[in-house]
Structure 1
Amino acid sequence: MLNGNTSPIQDDSAIAINPFQHPDDVKIWIRQQAQALGFADCGFISVDNPVFEAQMQGLEKWLAQDYHGQLTFMEKNHDKRANPALLVAGARTIISVRMDYLEVTPKPRRIEDNLRPNYAIIARYARGRDYHKVMRSRLKKLAQQIANMLPQWQHLKISAERPFVFRPFSDSAPIFERPLADAAGMGWTGKHTLLINRQAGSFFVLGELFLSLELPEDKPTSAHCGSCQACIDICPTQAIIAPYQLKAKACISYLTIEHDGVIDKQYRKAIGNRIFGCDDCQLICPWNRYAKVSPIDDFHARHNLDNSLLLDLWQWTEDMFLKYTEGSPIRRTGYVNFLRNLSIAIGNAPFAQVHIQALQQRLGKHNDMLDEHIHWAINEQLSKTGHSSI
């Protein structure tokens, strides 16, 4: 039937209106799905963004200063760091995601870890399951949801490749992860070189999803550190040598996780009772009064790793270490380096005869490297009593 203007009369309820009228609508939808999967937020950036080339200049200078220690992987794959499109053929956009990992919000601007010298301090991100697996699994789910929506987005002409291409990453490729997230508006780079978000502090991990969709980029946010340098002042080993400059090989996280072998004596007292990583520069940051508790159970502490005595962990056999660190990032230290870290922490603990006895029981049972740390720890314990060193 025609009306007076000879145009068809249609029932409004029969008209299907596609809610996706602009690529920004796609981004809104993707962000909603990401949050439903447990990601706190996400940002979008092109694989051709100039931030990658700019970061290469800073990386080359950092390497030339020999701040990277045994992080030799930073010396490789510079072509892919500068041009992430080489990592995934056909990729046009990178979605940067962040995932909160705190189980309990710490008291703001307090280093509570220092109040428990007989307990083993493990960085908060590492007390539960390995976040890399959680991150990649959920990024893959997000990509599959996106793939299911492609027919509704055909009219937007955002598909640069067919078939649809995607690949998730989580600290698993030569990617400028933090600068990428910074450029995608996920936060700003703090003076400790970690990303800070105005609504959520810095207790989160990052991941990336490469896609063969051309989506508008997000804009970076402004920095809000101001004149504050609490993170620089608090660093136990003074690894933050200047704002935005980290001497990685002096950082406790590097020393207790990445460094293999003997830890330089100049850092041992400063390590305190931290046996895997260090949260001090985050704990002192005023922005972490806004840090969020994670909704993801995998970040909850397992095997009492948030409340274990040094001597209890010192008694672990290698089989126990492998059992209790299954699916945990702590495994990457290896058993002997794990004991190395514990020996330093026990040496730094308040004097107790049981500490010396426990240390002595492991002498000669592993290797010369560990024995050297055990001797150091025993001497540290004895020095607190006025006794002579051995």
Structure 2
Amino acid sequence: MRTSTSDAQKLRDLIEREVHRAGFDAVAFTSPDAAPLAPQRLAQFVADGFHGSMDWIVETLDRRGSPSILWPDARSIVIVAMNYGPDEDPRALQSKPRRGAISVYARNRDYHDLMKGRLKEIAGKIVARAGGDVKVFVDTAPVMEKPLAEAAGLGWQGKHTNLISREHGSWLFLGSIFTTADIAPDVPEEDHCGSCRACLDACPTDAFPAPYRLDARRCISYLTIENKGPIPHEFRAAIGNRIYGCDDCLAACPWNKFAHAASEAKLVARDDLREPPLTALLTLDDAAFRSFFSGSPIKRIGRDRFIRNVLIAAGNSGDGTLLGQVSTLLADPSPLVRGAAVWALARLDEDGGFAGRAAEALRFEPDESVRNEWRTVLAEKAALEIVA
């Protein structure tokens, strides 16, 4: 939809005004074809298997790589950003192993809900002013918002593959409005990472095979959120008390020194998710889980995956007082939970009775994946005893 230069500027002014009025911290404009290298990089990510079990990336590869394929009528893209920066370094929570570390973004109300409603209101005003059509996206659709945000000048994709802003560091939620209106694009941002590799060195599981490349299969965020099965043994100790996501690469970015803490009221922050005690989380059944995480993005992974994560943290805690709760979860209806409980039990067991419990469990455990967990942990403990 063609618009005059004057009308386009008025539309741009309207959008900028409404975006800030809605509580967003930044806005910029780009075109659907502004990130030409994104499709190739995404295809390589998939070809290398770095997407892990995220088959939805493969299924939407073409649309995800090209906004013009996703919606051919789009002529301009509005990229908005909301700061969610914490008021302290989230890595400090690693010194409290009896507490669960939840990624900063998930300590608030689900940002998809927060942003999408506001973006729809703005989109409605765009149509009222300029006509045409619009589509709103917030992370859940096949849109590569980080390359588009870089093209729009909001920041640049750092070596940790996340967007970095000179004003907000690595702490930004992104959303987009596709429109059939013509709006002049902004100038892309340059890469300001230089020789810094703080984010790469901060990763507990070495998930970056090279700068600007992420192997999701090794990433704690993937392992604790997207991964539906047992967490591979090689990563469990490194996970520590991270029970949902990981902020280490984001928190290590030196550009965060220019960021400021986000308004907790704007984000609808949950103080009870800042450092919840593991002992309270281990008691959650499905109904209690759904109630406690109502309105939280954590609710989407379901109770079983979440308790799996908490059990890994329990095993890393060194807190023998959790042994009773862990033992109870050996009888949980979910094989995923039972398997994680086996590992936690082995880590917390100090009376040498693990071998006997394993022998009994292998007689009666019906699920082969849990039986394999018992066998694997038995072998690991035997190897440690030989070394000792």
Q: What band does the TM-score fall into relative to the shorter chain?
A: 0.7 to 0.9
After superposition, residues 218-233 of structure 1 pair within 5 angstroms as 218-233=186-201
SS at match of 1:241: coil
The letter of the residue matching 1:29 is L
1:106 paired residue number: 88
Preserved CA contact (<8 Å) 2:98 2:319: no
Matched position secondary structure for 2:173: strand
Q: CA deviation at 1:375?
A: 1.1
Write the distance in 1 (CA, Å) between the matches of 2:76 and 2:175.
14
Deviations 1:186-205 (A, max 9, x none): 10111100000001101111
Matches within 5 A, 1:58-69: 58-69=41-52
Shift of 1:111: 2.2
Structure 1 residue 303, shift from structure 2 partner = 6.4
**Partner amino acid for 1:351?**
D
CA contact (8 A) 1:347 1:377 kept: yes
Report what 1:75 is aligned to. Answer: 58
CA distance in 1 between counterparts of 2:182 and 2:315 reads: 55
Higher helix proportion (structure 1 or 2): 2
1:16-55 pair list within 5 angstroms: 21=6, 23-49=8-34, 51=35, 53-55=36-38
1:64-87 C-alpha deviation (Å, 9 max, x unpaired): 111111111111223322431343
> Aligned ranges for residues 227-376 of structure 1 at < 5 Å?
227-295=195-263, 297=265, 299-302=267-270, 304-352=272-320, 354-376=321-343
Give the alignment partner of residue 79 of structure 2, picking from 88, 96, 109.
Answer: 96
The structural deviation recorded for 1:42 is 1.0
Q: Is the 8 A contact 2:79 2:148 kept in 1?
A: yes
Q: Hey, what's the Cα distance between the residues in 1 that align with 2:348 and 2:268?
A: 33
Unpaired runs of 5+ residues, structure 2, are 356-388
Q: Is the alpha carbon distance of 1:143 and 1:358 closer, same or farther for their aligned partners in structure 2, counting shifts above 3 Å?
A: same
Amino acid across the alignment from 2:175: G
Separation in structure 1 between the aligned mates of residue 134 and residue 102 of structure 2, nearest angstrom: 34
TM-score by length of 1: 0.85
Corresponding residue for 1:182?
150
**Residue by residue, what CA displacement relative to the aligned partner does 1:292-312 show, whole Å, maximum 9, x if unpaired?**
333463524326011310111
Paired with 2:162 and 2:354, the residues of 1 have a C-alpha distance of 40
Structure 1 residues 80 and 362, CA gap change in structure 2 (3 angstroms):
same
Question: How far apart, in 2, do the equivalents of 1:295 and 1:141 lie?
Answer: 21
Distance 1:367 1:199 in 2: 45
Q: CA deviation at 1:57?
A: 1.1
1:85 matched to 2:68? The reply is yes
Displacement after TM superposition at 1:100 (Å): 1.2
- Percent sequence identity over matched residues? 37
> Would you identify which runs of 4 or more consecutive aligned residues in structure 1 move more than 6 Å?
none
Structure 1 runs not aligned, ≥5 long: 1-19, 151-162
Following the alignment from structure 2 to structure 1, what is the Cα–Cα distance between the partners of residues 195 and 234?
A: 29
Alpha-carbon distance in 2 for matches of 1:82, 1:368? 37
1:119 aligns with 99
SS at match of 2:184: coil
- Please say if residues 304 and 336 of structure 2, whose CA atoms lie closer than 8 Å, have aligned partners that are also in contact: no
Q: Whole-Å Cα distance in 1 between the matches of residues 341 and 287 of structure 2?
A: 21
Query: Aligned residue for 1:3?
Result: none
Deviation at 1:112, TM superposition (A): 0.8
Q: Who is 2:380 aligned against? A: none
Q: Tell me the SS of whatever aligns to 1:215.
A: coil
- Output one character per residue of 1:111-148: Cα deviation in whole Å (capped at 9) or x when no partner: 21212111111111111211111111111111122233
Higher relative contact order, structure no. (Cα contacts within 8 Å, ≥ 6 residues apart):
1
| 2:370 corresponding residue in structure 1 | none
**1:95 match: secondary structure:** strand
- Residue 144 of structure 1 corresponds to 124
Q: Which has the larger radius of gyration?
A: 1
**What does residue 376 of structure 2 align with?**
none
Mapped partners of 2:274, 2:306: distance in 1: 16
CA gap 1:294/1:184 in 2 versus in 1, 3 angstroms: same
- Tell whether the 8 Å contact from 1:128 to 1:298 is kept in structure 2 after alignment: no
Q: Which residue of 1 aligns with 2:170?
A: 202
Distance in 2 separating the partners of 1:25 and 1:298 = 28
Structure 2 residue matching 1:304: 3-state secondary structure: helix
Instruction: Provide the C-alpha distance between the structure 2 equivalents of 1:322 and 1:312, rounded to a whole number of angstroms.
Output: 14
What is the total number of aligned residue pairs between the two structures? 351
Question: Could you tell me whether the CA contact under 8 Å between 1:106 and 1:283 is conserved in 2?
Answer: no
Deviation at 1:59, TM superposition (A): 1.4
